[in-house]
Amino acid sequence: MIEPKNATPSEIVKYLDEYVIGQDKAKRSIALALRTRYRRMQLPKDLQDEVVPKNILMIGSTGVGKTEIARRLAKIMNFPFIKVEASKYTEVGFVGRDVESMIRDLVSHSYKMVEKELLKKEQINIEKYVLNKIVDQLLPPPPKQSSTSEETYQKLRDKMMTRVINGEMDDKKIKIDPLKTQNTPEIDDFNGNVDIIKIQDSITSVLGSFNQGARQKEVTVKQAKELLKFEAKNEILDKNSIKEEALRRAENEGIIFIDEVDKIATGSSGTSRNDPSKEGVQRDLLPIVEGSTVNTKYGQVSTDHILFIAAGAFHVSKPSDLIPELQGRFPIRVELENITEEILYKILTQPKNSILKQYKALLEVEDVTLNFTDEAIRSIAKIAQIANEKSEDIGARRLHTIIEKILDEIKC
């Protein structure tokens, strides 16, 4: 495992080689882009603002590894990363998702990343909070007039704590506040209307205050151990700090992978050239990629230093069919190689997480040993290549279809 923050581009490419076969140019370009982001963060603040990300346009058929390269790198670098499809967005004024929603999705993902890290750090404190809440119910403090000394009560409390930890009290019933233990899902997007989100949050807060002290819910101690974790999370974690860090990461480390960007190109023939919806999406996307400020429920986000990686097959259209302003915002272009029979064979045998290794591991769970001869693997690669040539070329994804068919009876 490489050390992401100190890894050189060549080390990053070497790591990628373990998961993605071929496509050396694409891997190198993205590794350099990510390393540049790390270098930028080491510069003085005034100079950081001047270094803009070099957005990348990846050109290649489906199944050649475009998404996998970007996803693997984002994972190893622990950067906020989302994948979106350009064809799902519509021009402002039309019904559908607006392009700014991709920024809100990125910030939401960044928030969850930071929250998850803090939850891991605060795990001990969360467990203590839950146990104390349960013991407070099972063994409440004695009244002031009681003859029980504080020392005696503490010994009784310690014994009760041990019994709760050991599960001896799991069947006992206690009362909890259901409002505090609800795992309310985060609302990422109301189709861009941040005001609606704020109003909804305000209403929730008001209703919560009216319901304080309402009828409590009776649950077992075992159930309370899980339910009270949500209350503990809200009490222990500093949401404002999480928001600040989430916004910082999204702005400085965020990566947005825009797939199917060729679907919003206007094309070189027919009526598609004057399709206002496609060109409208491009024009709406332009300020986001150029650098603008987007409102989210967590705060304002600047897109100036978010790295955009666009990808498309460009079978019908060409990169030059994108509006010139948008083309200029993707200065690095990488053409990915088509998948050959030899590459398909390597995909089956070389990666750490190859399809064959996955199926072997799955069947080993039920004590079934699965082995493939080299001749069989080459036959699978050949069949996949022929299928791609005769029907639509879906690249390495064809291997999943063939292997599923081969193992259909064995898996049953």
CATH classification at residue 393: 1.10.8.60
Q: What is the pLDDT of residue 271?
A: 44
Q: What is the pLDDT of residue 106?
A: 95
**Cα angle at 304 between 298 and 305, to 5 degrees?**
90
Q: What is the pLDDT of residue 208?
A: 53
CA trace torsion 227, 233, 239, 245 (10° rounding): -120
Task: Select from 64, 1, 70 the least CA-distant residue to 29.
Answer: 70
114 within a domain of the structure (yes/no): no
One domain, residues 329 and 346: no
One domain, residues 102 and 20: yes
One domain, residues 140 and 228: yes
Q: What is the pLDDT of residue 25?
A: 86
One domain, residues 101 and 47: yes
One domain, residues 170 and 231: yes
Q: What is the pLDDT of residue 182?
A: 62
Report the 10 Å Cβ neighbour count for 5: 9
Mean pLDDT of each 10-residue bin along the chain, 412 residues long: 69 85 86 82 84 88 82 79 86 67 94 92 91 89 78 88 90 80 54 53 53 68 88 89 94 90 74 64 92 93 93 87 91 87 90 87 87 92 90 84 85 65
Tell me the C-alpha distance between 24 and 41, whole Å: 26
* Helix or strand holding residue 102 (H, E): helix 101-121
Which of these three, 335, 368, 384, is where a domain ends?
A: 335
Which of these three, 279, 311, 335, is where a domain ends?
A: 335
Identify the CATH number of the domain in which residue 31 sits.
3.40.50.300
Structure tokens at 383: 């069949």
Strand pairing of 173-176 and 217-220? antiparallel
One domain, residues 307 and 371: no
243 within a domain of the structure (yes/no): no
Structural domain including 400 reads: 341-407
Tell me the C-alpha distance between 311 and 85, whole Å: 9
Which of these three, 316, 335, 354, is where a domain ends?
A: 335
Domain count, the chain: 3
* Helix or strand holding residue 296 (H, E): strand 293-296
